[in-house]
Amino acid sequence: MLIIKDLKAAIDGKIILKGISIEVKPGEIHAIMGPNGSGKSTLAAVIAGREFVEVTEGTVTYEGKNLLEMAPEDRSKEGIFLGFQYPIEIPGVSMVNFMKTAVNEHRKHKGLEPLSASEFLKLMREKKELVEIDSKLANRSVNEGFSGGEKKKNEIFQMSMLEPKLAILDETDSGLDIDALRIVANGVNKLKRPDNAAIVITHYQRLLDYIIPDVVHVLYDGRIVKTAGKELALELEAKGYDWIKQNVEKNDLP
Amino acid sequence: MEKDQDKILNDVTSGEYKYGFYTDIEMEQIARGLNEDIIRTISGKKSEPDWLLEFRLKAFRHWQTMKMPQWANLKIPAIDYQDIIYYSAPKKKASPESLDDIDPELKKTFDKLGIPLEEQKHLTGIAVDAVMDSVSVKTTFRETLAESGIIFCSFSDAVKEYPELVKRYMGTVVPYTDNFFAALNSAVFSDGSFCYIPKGVRCPMELSTYFRINAANTGQFERTLLVADEESYVSYLEGCTAPMRDENQLHAAIVEIIAENNAEVKYSTVQNWYPGDKGGKGGIFNFVTKRGLCRGDNSKISWTQVETGSAITWKYPSCILRGDNSTGEFYSVAVTNNHQQADTGTKMIHIGRNTKSTIVSKGISAGEGQNSYRGLVKVLKNATGARNFSQCDSLLLGDKCGAHTFPYLEVDNQTAIVEHEATTSKIGEDQIFYCNQRGISTEDAIGLIVNGYAREVINKLPMEFAVEAQKLLQISLEGSVG
Task: Count how many residues are written for chain A.
Answer: 254
- A89 to chain B, closest Cα gap in Å: 7
Please state, in angstroms and rounded to a whole number, the distance separating the CA atoms of residues A9 and A19: 8
- A88 to chain B, closest Cα gap in Å: 6
Query: b/e string for B227-254 if b means 16 or more Cβ within 10 A?
Result: bbbbbbbbbbbbbbbbbbbeebbbbbbb
Q: What is the pLDDT of residue B119?
A: 64
Bridge-based pairing of strands B402-411 and B370-379 is parallel
Q: For B449, which residue in chain A has the nearest alpha carbon?
A: A93
Among the partner residues B4, B439, B452, nearest to A93 by beta-carbon distance: B452
Closest by CA to A196, choosing from A81, A73, A67, A31, is A81
Sign of the torsion angle spanned by Cα atoms A72, A76, A80, A81? positive
Query: b/e string for A168-192 if b means 16 or more Cβ within 10 A?
Result: bbbbbbbebeeebbebbbbbbeebe
Least confident span in A132-146, B91-105, B430-444 = B91-105
Residue B24 has pLDDT above 90, yes or no: no
Per the model's pLDDT, the better-predicted residue between B15 and B20 turns out to be B20
Q: What is the pLDDT of residue A254?
A: 46
Measured between beta carbons, the chain B residues lying within 8 angstroms of A106 are 439
Q: What is the pLDDT of residue B99?
A: 58
| Most confident stretch, A176-185, B8-17, B418-427 | B418-427
Closest by CA to A236, choosing from A203, A207, A210, A213, is A203
What is the percent of chain A with per-residue pLDDT over 70, rounded to a whole number?
Answer: 98
Q: For residues B3-21, give the mean pLDDT.
A: 58
Residue A224 has pLDDT above 80, yes or no: yes
8-state DSSP, A235: H
Q: What is the pLDDT of residue B174?
A: 95
Q: What are the pLDDT digits (tens) for B175-184?
A: 999 999 999 9
Q: Amino acid identity, residue B105?
A: E
Measured between beta carbons, the chain B residues lying within 8 angstroms of A158 are 438
Least confident span in A52-66, B61-75, B127-141, B356-370 = B127-141
Residue A182 has pLDDT above 70, yes or no: yes
- B315 to chain A, closest Cα gap in Å: 27
Contact B29, B88 (CB under 8 A): yes
Give residue A87's pLDDT band: very low, low, confident or very high (50, 70, 90).
Answer: very high
Contact A197, A29 (CB under 8 A): yes
Closest by CA to B134, choosing from B212, B81, B80, is B212
Q: For A89, which residue in chain B has the nearest alpha carbon?
A: B431
What is the percent of chain B with per-residue pLDDT over 90, rounded to a whole number?
Answer: 51
Q: Are B433 and A72 in contact (CB < 8 Å)?
A: yes
Q: What is the pLDDT of residue B12?
A: 47
Q: Amino acid identity, residue A24?
A: V
- B9 to chain A, closest Cα gap in Å: 14
Please state, in angstroms and rounded to a whole number, the distance separating the CA atoms of residues B228 and B262: 9
Q: For residues B357-370, give the mean pLDDT.
A: 91
3-class SS of residue A240: coil
Q: What is the pLDDT of residue B481?
A: 30
Mean pLDDT computed over every residue of chain B: 86
Residue B151 has pLDDT above 80, yes or no: yes
Q: What is the pLDDT of residue B2?
A: 43
Q: Is residue A96 within 8 angstroms of chain B, CB to CB? A: no
Q: For residues B70-75, give the mean pLDDT.
A: 90
Q: Are A73 and B433 in contact (CB < 8 Å)?
A: no
Give residue B1's pLDDT band: very low, low, confident or very high (50, 70, 90).
Answer: very low
Give residue A75's pLDDT band: very low, low, confident or very high (50, 70, 90).
Answer: very high
Mutation for A interface: B438, B443, B451, B456, most A CBs within 10 A: B438
Q: What is the pLDDT of residue B140?
A: 80
Q: Amino acid identity, residue A193?
A: R
Q: Are A90 and B449 in contact (CB < 8 Å)?
A: yes
Bridge-based pairing of strands B356-365 and B387-396 is parallel
Contact B322, B293 (CB under 8 A): yes
Q: What is the pLDDT of residue B459?
A: 85
Please state, in angstroms and rounded to a whole number, the distance separating the CA atoms of residues B304 and B227: 18
Q: Is residue B50 within 8 angstroms of chain A, CB to CB? A: no
Per the model's pLDDT, the better-predicted residue between A132 and A6 turns out to be A6
Residue A74 has pLDDT above 70, yes or no: yes
* Secondary structure E strands in chain A: 2-11, 14-24, 29-33, 53-62, 65-66, 80-83, 90-94, 141-142, 166-170, 197-202, 215-220, 223-228
Q: What is the pLDDT of residue B439?
A: 97
Q: For A53, which residue in chain B has the nearest alpha carbon?
A: B1
Q: For residues B169-178, give the mean pLDDT.
A: 95
Please state, in angstroms and rounded to a whole number, the distance separating the CA atoms of residues A6 and B257: 71
Q: What are phi and psi of B469, to 5 degrees?
A: -65, -40
- CA angle, B29 then B31 then B32, to 5°: 110
Q: What are the pLDDT digits (tens) for A126-164?
A: 888 877 777 777 778 999 989 888 898 899 999 999 999
Q: For residues B88-92, give the mean pLDDT.
A: 77
Q: What is the pLDDT of residue B122?
A: 53
CB contact residues (below 8 A), chain B span 429-458, against chain A? 430-431, 433-442, 444, 448-449, 451-455
Give residue B130's pLDDT band: very low, low, confident or very high (50, 70, 90).
Answer: confident
Residue B4 has pLDDT above 60, yes or no: no
Q: For B453, which residue in chain A has the nearest alpha carbon?
A: A92
Q: Give the number of beta-carbon pairs within 8 Å between A and B.
A: 83
Give residue A251's pLDDT band: very low, low, confident or very high (50, 70, 90).
Answer: low
Residue B118 has pLDDT above 80, yes or no: no
Q: What are phi and psi of A209, to 5 degrees?
A: -70, -25
Closest by CA to B271, choosing from B10, B476, B479, B15, is B476
Q: What is the pLDDT of residue B7?
A: 53
Residue B3 has pLDDT above 50, yes or no: no
Q: For B444, which residue in chain A has the nearest alpha carbon?
A: A101
Q: What are the pLDDT digits (tens) for B191-238?
A: 889 999 999 999 988 888 888 777 778 888 999 999 999 999 999 988
| Most confident stretch, A202-211, B176-185, B242-251 | B176-185
Domain boundaries, given as residue ranges, for chain A? 2-84+159-249
Q: Is residue B428 within 8 angstroms of chain A, CB to CB? A: yes
Q: What are phi and psi of A26, to 5 degrees?
A: -55, 140
Bridge-based pairing of strands B254-259 and B233-241 is unpaired
Give residue B128's pLDDT band: very low, low, confident or very high (50, 70, 90).
Answer: confident
Residue B241 has pLDDT above 50, yes or no: yes
Q: What is the pLDDT of residue B218?
A: 83
What CA–CA distances, in Å, run from B57 to B43, B185, B257, B400?
A: 10, 11, 23, 45
Rg of chain A taking only CA atoms, in angstroms: 18
Q: For B8, which residue in chain A has the nearest alpha carbon?
A: A51
Q: Is residue A73 within 8 angstroms of chain B, CB to CB? A: yes
Give residue A47's pLDDT band: very low, low, confident or very high (50, 70, 90).
Answer: very high
Q: What are the pLDDT digits (tens) for B250-308?
A: 889 999 999 999 999 999 998 888 888 888 888 889 999 999 999 999 999 999 998 88
* Architecture of the CATH domain A2-84+159-249: 3-Layer(aba) Sandwich (3.40)
Q: What is the pLDDT of residue B124?
A: 58
Closest by CA to B286, choosing from B315, B323, B243, is B315
